[in-house]
Amino acid sequence: MKRWVYVNGNVVTAEQAVVSVFDRGFLMADAVYEVTAVLDGKLIDFAGHCQRLARSLSELEIANPHTPQQWLELHRQLVQRNQLVEGLVYLQISRGNSGDRDFAYPPSDTPPTVVMFTQSKPGMAHPAIASTGLKVITVADIRWGRRDIKTVQLLYPAMAKMMATKTGADEAWFVQDGLVTEGTSNNAYILRGQVMITRQLNNDILHGTTRGAVLQIAHELGLAVEQRGFSVAEALQADEAFITSASAFILPVVELDGQPIGSGRPGANTQQLRQAYIARARQQAI
């Protein structure tokens, strides 16, 4: 089956999808992105992704080319065209093609470049790793200071992911000033008894869309929530740990830097949170 891609108002085959070599997203990572999960052919947490997209664009002074309703129609069009049942819709917006390479922003009326594509991921809601848990290493957080903006500057997170792979681990958590910030592409959490701890929202971490939903579910399940940083030592003393993201939903973390967390197996609270989140996501999908 052909893979259809949206590029600047046109839906074309993947082979026909092209962007100028002068595009600032290519030259300078001057672009933002969003990833929306799809279950049963429907979009998960779409309103939250639209809100974060608008915020990221605003922080970089890039005009939002579409309204939330228009974005919804474009996402649905691409899901239908690619017959996507379970997977992801990737959206990227750059400051556009300035016609040459220059550090200065192009004129404000330069059209942004908009690219969208889908990725099929059968079994995304029930991966094997959800029942065994992730092994995580820690790495120094040397990223730029505006991690709250969802830009395409992902080189160091990709390097950290490969550092984990080379050690036989699945993921890496960034550590700054002795405290865990987040994972390479996810938010990080620990549980001590019935208390869930995750870093507070600021410029240090991405304001996860899934994170917001999970915090609400945690309250409903009777878990207390502390939004603060936690150290690696505190994580190793925790009963449970997990990550959240649009593509992973909720996945347990069972090992950190070669040492088990809790029992070394996915914990009951993490499993309950995951089940509750997926059930709600399916119920509220659009």
Active site residue ranges: 150
Radius of gyration of the chain (CA): 19
Q: What six digits make up the tokens of 39?
A: 């279950």
Judge whether 140 and 175 are in contact, CB under 8 Å: yes
Helices (H) and strands (E) in the chain, counts: 8, 15
Q: Is 70 exposed, middle or buried (0-12, 13-18, 19+ CB in 10 A)?
A: exposed
Write out 11-68 in H/E/C secondary structure. Answer: EEEHHHCCCCCCEHHHHHCCEEEEEEEEECCEECCHHHHHHHHHHHHHHCCCCCCCCH
